[in-house]
Amino acid sequence: MGKSATTIRFAAVGDLHVTKDSAGTLRAFFAQAAEAADALLLCGDLTDYGTAEEAQVLAEELGAVAIPIVAVLGNHDYQSAVPEKVIAVLKQAGVRVLDGEVCEIEGVGIAGVKGFAGGFGRGSLGAWGEPAIKQFVQEALNEAMKLESALAKLRMPRRIALLRDASFRDAIRHSVEHPNRDGAKGPTLPPPQWTVKCGSMTPSSRPARPTAILNVDPGEYFP
């Protein structure tokens, strides 16, 4: 499928779980994504054990990708307690890694966070009982507020929320209103048109093509 002169196309994939033995296994996959899309979104769990060595393998697999690459980390990328090293390797390879930050590609705003577990709605875990439970819930709230703050920085109508674990959809829904500097409510914007998070792909079931292609027509407005 060729690229369009009027439509911005995003390829999205998550749960790559790259290991030291993954060298040479993803280059064709990324090449296909780069040929079909204008930007590549990596939705967390990029490495298996969160080591700099695994991140280097991924960086080399991405070496031939000439389109912009935006990523967030996942829980696996924290396993070895050196996420800053993983981020450094990927940034050196030209990957934009978001953790509460935003970027813009062809007029489309992208806000990215790792996310956290916690459940949805009535199934959400409440901050009740043992300190460990309260700490767990607070971490989920921190990630939700980080995403909400990031989305508030994007003033364009076409926005993408990029994350690994999406357990706080209300933060996305309610991010359309936020205080101005003087504390007054700012103008209402539509919520992000897409929430991009990883699916159920595992190392043994990697797809033969990008898991998602998101089409953005700059000439249209998405309520």
Q: What is the pLDDT of residues 148-198, one digit of tens each?
A: 999 999 998 889 999 987 655 554 544 443 333 333 333 334 444 444 544
The overall pTM is greater than 0.85: no
Check if the beta carbon of residue 44 is closer than 8 Å to that of residue 70: no
Tell me which amino acid residue 163 is: L
Count the alpha carbons within 13 Å of 95 in the hemisphere toward its beta carbon: 30
pLDDT score recorded for residue 1: 52
Please, which residues have CB within 8 angstroms of residue 176's CB and are 6 or more apart in sequence?
A: 188, 189, 190, 191
Q: Is the residue at 18 inside a domain?
A: yes
Q: Is the residue at 90 inside a domain?
A: yes
Check if the beta carbon of residue 98 is closer than 8 Å to that of residue 147: no
Domain count, the chain: 1
Angle of CA points 93, 101, 69, to nearest 5°? 30
The residue segments making up the domain with residue 97 are: 8-216
Q: What is the pLDDT of residues 94-110, one digit of tens each?
A: 999 999 999 999 999 99
Q: State the pLDDT confidence band at 21, using cuts at 50, 70 and 90.
A: very high
Q: Is the residue at 2 inside a domain?
A: no
Average pLDDT, the chain: 78
Q: Is the residue at 223 inside a domain?
A: no
Give the count of beta carbons closer than 10 Å to the beta carbon of residue 107: 11
Q: Is the residue at 1 inside a domain?
A: no
The Cα 221–Cα 205 span in angstroms is 36
Check if the beta carbon of residue 59 is closer than 8 Å to that of residue 95: yes
Q: Is the residue at 222 inside a domain?
A: no
Averaged pLDDT, 128-133 = 92
Question: What is each CA distance from 97 to 34, 73, 88, 211, in whole angstroms?
Answer: 18, 8, 9, 20
With 0-12 / 13-18 / 19 or more C-beta atoms within 10 angstroms meaning exposed / middle / buried, residue 202 is exposed
Give Cα 68 distance to the centre of its chain: 14
Q: Domain containing 23 — which CATH number?
A: 3.60.21
